[in-house]
């Protein structure tokens, strides 16, 4: 499983980076994104879901969040 660290990246740049990373990954692949609290953890999951990706989980770990998704169809 790929892990993409977006901690320290501000909105909306973190969503743009997440989208670019997903373009390189096969449909159906599970990916973890590391996100900061606040706007990133509110906006990135919602935006990725709107793009057609399946949200599998979101958990807080040591002051940041781990968002797990399954890549949807391109």
State yes or no: pLDDT of 40 exceeds 90. Answer: yes
Does residue 4 sit within a domain?
A: no
Does residue 48 sit within a domain?
A: yes
Average pLDDT over residues 28-47: 97
CA distances from 61 to 13, 42, 48, 54, 56 (A): 22, 16, 21, 21, 16
Does residue 41 sit within a domain?
A: yes
State yes or no: pLDDT of 51 exceeds 90. Answer: yes
Measured CA to CA, the distance from residue 1 to residue 43 in angstroms comes to 22
Tell me, what's the pLDDT at 68? 98
Domains of the chain: total:
1
Which one is predicted more confidently, 19 or 1?
19
Active site residue 11: yes
Does residue 21 sit within a domain?
A: no
Measured CA to CA, the distance from residue 61 to residue 17 in angstroms comes to 21
Catalytic residue among 4, 7, 11, 43: 11
Does residue 63 sit within a domain?
A: yes
């Amino acid at each position: 499983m790929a892990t993409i660290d977006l901690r320290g990246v501000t909105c909306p740049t973190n969503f743009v980076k997440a989208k670019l990373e997903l373009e390189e990954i096969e449909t159906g692949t599970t990916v973890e994104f590391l996100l900061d609290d606040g706007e990133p953890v509110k906006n990135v999951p919602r935006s990725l879901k709107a793009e057609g990706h399946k949200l599998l989980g979101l958990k807080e770990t040591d002051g940041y969040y781990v968002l797990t998704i399954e890549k949807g169809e391109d």
